[in-house]
């Protein structure tokens, strides 16, 4: 799980930089809440691809693709709450609000992504899941 989490962090940094750049561009024409929403939504498909191919090294399916946005639904609710809290509550500049949201949501997003993309929180590869056959005594 440690290697997966490391790959998750690397993939997440790439996705975050791309969506943050989009967020900053959108701030020039939209309110920070709408800019955050648009940038966030654009990162979901990128996160799905990164999670499948790079992080968990799994094959995609329509079922996984349909369920994957649930991860980001949960992360979105958590993220908006954090962004509003730090911008409106703490007076942090709107351009930094998503940074706080990302820091809070990383562990939740990893666990939910792993569950959906691998089939469960503790799924093992078939070779690992099957115990070895008992050995027969030599005659």
Find all residues with CB under 8 Å of 105, minimum gap 6, and list them. 75, 78, 79, 82
Contact 74, 112 (CB under 8 A): yes
Would you say residue 122 has pLDDT above 90? no
Q: If you average pLDDT over residues 5-31, what whole number do you get?
A: 95
Per-residue pLDDT tens digits for 54-73: 999 999 999 999 999 999 88
Interatomic CA distance for residues 13 and 20, integer angstroms: 10
**pLDDT category, 134, cuts 50, 70, 90?**
very low
Contact 105, 75 (CB under 8 A): yes
Q: The whole model's pTM is what?
A: 0.64
For a pLDDT cut of 70, what percent of the chain falls above it? 86
């Amino acid at each position: 799980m440690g290697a997966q989490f490391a790959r998750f962090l690397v993939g997440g940094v790439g996705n975050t930089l791309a969506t943050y750049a989009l967020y900053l561009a959108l701030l020039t024409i939209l309110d920070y809440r709408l800019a955050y929403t648009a940038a966030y939504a654009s990162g979901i498909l990128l996160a799905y691809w990164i999670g499948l191919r790079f992080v968990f090294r799994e094959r995609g399916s329509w079922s996984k693709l349909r369920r994957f946005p649930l991860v980001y639904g949960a992360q979105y609710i958590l993220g908006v709450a954090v962004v509003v809290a730090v911008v409106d509550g703490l007076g942090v500049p709107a351009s930094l609000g998503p940074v706080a949201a990302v820091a809070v949501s990383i562990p939740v997003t990893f666990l939910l992504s792993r569950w959906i993309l691998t089939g469960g929180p503790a799924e093992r590869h078939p070779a690992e899941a099957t115990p070895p056959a008992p050995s027969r005594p030599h005659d």
